[in-house]
Structure 1
């Protein structure tokens, strides 16, 4: 599994399409994204990570880099997203951070 991380609107989906040689319309066949939203609702992050790891590509938006929210539920959701990213990174063969459309390999390799 390849995990693609990055901030909002950083080019993660476009990079995934390039990596998978597919169009954005075809992307749902090969990838899952917005996993940080699933983390906020998950009762068991380990089980969620195992389920998501079955996809060839998982795309996660980085959250929590700004001001800490006042509401406890929002802080809990950010923590869950970060913990899920750690679990997915451990399971992934390749981890890529996309920033301003530039992919940076953090783990593994993109060579075929």
Structure 2
């Protein structure tokens, strides 16, 4: 599994399409995106990470940028997203951060 992470609207989906050789319309059958949203209400992040790691590609938007929200629910959601990202990165063969459309391999060897 390849984990692609980066800020919102940084080019993650376009990069995934390029790596997979698919169109944006075909992407949903080969990848899951917005994985950070799945973490928000999840009671078992380990099980979610295991389920997602069976996909070819997982896209996850970095949230928060270090800003700690005052709302407890938002803090818990961001913490869950961060923990899920760590679990997925540990399972991934390749981790790529995309920023301004530019991929940076963080883990493994990826055919870019």
Question: Same-fold call, TM > 0.5?
Answer: yes
Q: Distance in 2 between matches of 1:64 and 1:28?
A: 25
User: Runs (4+) of structure 1 moved beyond 6 Å?
Assistant: none
TM-score for both structures, normalised by structure 1: 0.97
Question: Displacement of 1:111 after TM fit?
Answer: 2.8
TM-score for both structures, normalised by structure 2: 0.97
Question: Displacement of 1:83 after TM fit?
Answer: 0.2
Report how many residues are paired: 112
Aligned-pair RMSD on alpha carbons? 1.0
Which residue number corresponds to residue 67 of structure 1? 67
SS at match of 2:80: helix
Q: Distance in 1 between matches of 2:72 and 2:100?
A: 31
Q: Which runs of 5+ in 2 are unaligned?
A: none
Q: Distance in 2 between matches of 1:102 and 1:111?
A: 14
Q: Which runs of 5+ in 1 are unaligned?
A: none
